Structure 1
Amino acid sequence: MNFKKNTLILINRKVLATQLQGFFLKNFQENLFYIKSILEKVAVKNKKILNWFIKFLTSCKFRSKLLTS
């Protein structure tokens, strides 16, 4: 019974995470140029933020859009 309950909890978390990710990515695409302008201002001061953000974009498959715009 515990296994079944734990499995359902994990499935529910994954569904929620997927929904949140989809919501975030939709908003992210809409605000890509705004985020890029903020990133450029911040990244001038902190290369660690720039590197983290590029890794994040790579995982989201938005790197080419950000770097070519």
Structure 2
Amino acid sequence: MKFLVFHLFIICLGAFVALKITGSVWVTILLVVVFGVIPAFRLNNYYLEELTIFFVFSVGSISMLFALIKSQMQ
């Protein structure tokens, strides 16, 4: 249970970082729901540690990719 609370804290922190990087609320919501919320309630605590690491890297890299695409289109 403690690690689930920690994972949800990481999700909130990742959402803040994704919002700052992309500047888009919709992209941030999509990233958080797909990579954070849905898998968190489908796995047990053993896989939650790996999921948290995956969430951090996936949200960071996809946010940077969206920001790069957005900057190239302007």
TM-score, scaled to structure 2:
0.36
Higher RCO structure, 1 or 2 (CA under 8 Å, sep 6+): 2
TM-score, scaled to structure 1:
0.38
